[in-house]
Structure 1
Amino acid sequence: MNRQWQLNRRPVGEPTISDFKLVTGNVPARVAENDVLVRNRLLSLDPYMRWRMDDAKSYAPAVGLGEVMVGATISEVLQSQTPEFKVGDIVAAQGGWQDYAVVNRKAVRKLDVDQIAPEAYLGVLGSPGFTAYAGLMKIGNPRPGETVVVGAATGPVGSMVGQLARRTGARAVAIAGGAEKCGIATSEFGFSAAIDHRAPDFAAQLAKACPDGIDVYFENIGGEVLEAVIPLLNDFARIPVCGVISQYSGLASGENETSLNRFMRDILVKRLLVRGFIVTDFADIREEFDQTIAPLVASGEIRRLEDVVEGLEQAPHAFLGLLRGKNRGKLIVRIDDD
């Protein structure tokens, strides 16, 4: 039998458990040509999934009511109708929130799990790590001695941004929620400083941590964090924008028309480069990313942090916690204990 978490209704504001429903159905007996049947072992939970729950124009289609929630998975091939994959292969796929999935061969990638733990392919070697690499190295373009600031700094994107920035000779400053995460950012990922965005004097602390201003701000939060960053941006600063998690549930988080107008004025006066991007924009450098980062992950030079939740039935609860910032690192669901 195949357990599936489907979208039950479209959330208004922050999602609730009742927006999801658990359905059980049959596993497909056969698969069509060029498809593979996989058993999902690990499921990635990511903030972008909140956007996909809304019926609004975006970079990817919305999840339909009654459809399986989308998500990247590490999976095992059970049946294959293509010569590229054989039974028993461990692959990366878009298997979704379910036990089993039928996936086209073009959306499946075989993994080497002998040298690298499979969990890494959902984090530092998955879409989050690739997002960090493409956004920082191809848009942010940090230079030795510059200051790079990133929010959600212990998450899979932010932690990779910090480590990559340090490797270029730049100074990396973390923004995180709470003392524990700030400590992880400096001790585990090597950030030069870490600022708690919940602190009442957050803006003042950030300014003190960036005495020479900010040259690259990797934007993934928005809201009040962006408000504190804007006055510190140097001339010709670069801002890769991969997300605004503070707005994913329709929360204003202090933003208003006045702040937006002020930001737009700074874009003009300071000649800022602000570029929003989706990781698929950089598909042509995926091989470059794999060849550059995989050896660093295998050797331990690139560090990773994962929060693993046991059991597919826990996926909605874990996802809601992610949106509230309760995770420390990359959030993964181990679908079963087999």
Structure 2
Amino acid sequence: MTTKTYSLSQLALQKFKKNFWGVFSLCFVALVGLVSVFAYLFAPDNSQNANQMHVSIHSKPPGFNVKMLTIPSQIKNEQSLFQKVFFGINNTDSEIPISSYSIHNNQLTYTEFASDGLEGDTKTIDASYITQNSASQYIKNVTFYLGTDKYGRDLLSRLLVGARISFFIGFVAVFISLVIGIFMGSVAGYYGGKVDALIMWIINVTWSIPTLLLVIAITLALGKGFWQVFIAVGLTMWVEVARVVRGQLISAKQMQYVTAARALGFNDFRIITKHILPNIMAPVIVICAANFAAAILIESGLSFLGIGAQPPMASWGAMIKDHYNYIILGKPYLAILPGLCIMLLVMAFMLIGNALRDALDVKV
């Protein structure tokens, strides 16, 4: 009778599958990742940055419905399909919320929407491009499922597009921290001596500076912008990775398989990359999940302070900044919804980290 043997990776995967919250969080993160990549396909407002403003319908509640008149622009939109799908449509048409309209003798007369029981302006324009049969192409009923923000933009679309920044900053920041942290930790742990002392001094100095203060300093040095924030966050998160890799490598380099590799004449680079690092990656993977969550929180804090993603780019932190005063003005959902998105995504990454820690623990 033969028994099937499993590798350590297969055993860890089986233990991870048994963790309900870990699997659920992984599915949630995958869903957010899908939405962030194809945000403009899901967003009702698929203009660039979901930035179509309608000041007359600002701060409307969820489910708000209004007639929207579209006046075509003479400017041709020469975007490729790739640009439209991943970066949004460069919308040059004019959109005007209206309360009523009529078409007579190729003239369109409409009344602009006005809130609080006020009467909007009535205007007449040439509507030769509109006939009574095709009016529905230019005048549509638009529903804002989560309402509008203080600039009259669709809140749901802004949330979906804003997921892109919060999600991808985790990947970029963790990638940068892994590259720097694994290199610095490996060199310090493997060679020891003065090299270890120098790298540990750099690590301790970097660690002693408050993370947010260091990110602000790097952001100000590199300038405000999308990629600058990604790089700044990544450059502050390598320290913890380096410390863990160094500690693990100091312990692992005394193992017999490392001694055997040296006896076979393998060089230091091969010993570190092919033999030691694959055996010490379990705690690093757990740290990566925590760093994902930390990167999202740091980016949100920077955007809230105004030095993160710059307008009109959608960012959950910036959305909270724009609407936090609405918490006491009777419309708290404008700030609560992006805050809830941040909380759920951070919690999902933390639960994944806990599940990975349990799955990769060989003592359990």
Higher helix fraction (1 or 2)? 2
TM range (shorter): under 0.3
Question: What's the TM-score, normalizing by structure 2?
Answer: 0.21
> Greater relative contact order: 1 or 2 (C-alpha under 8 angstroms, separation 6 or more)?
2
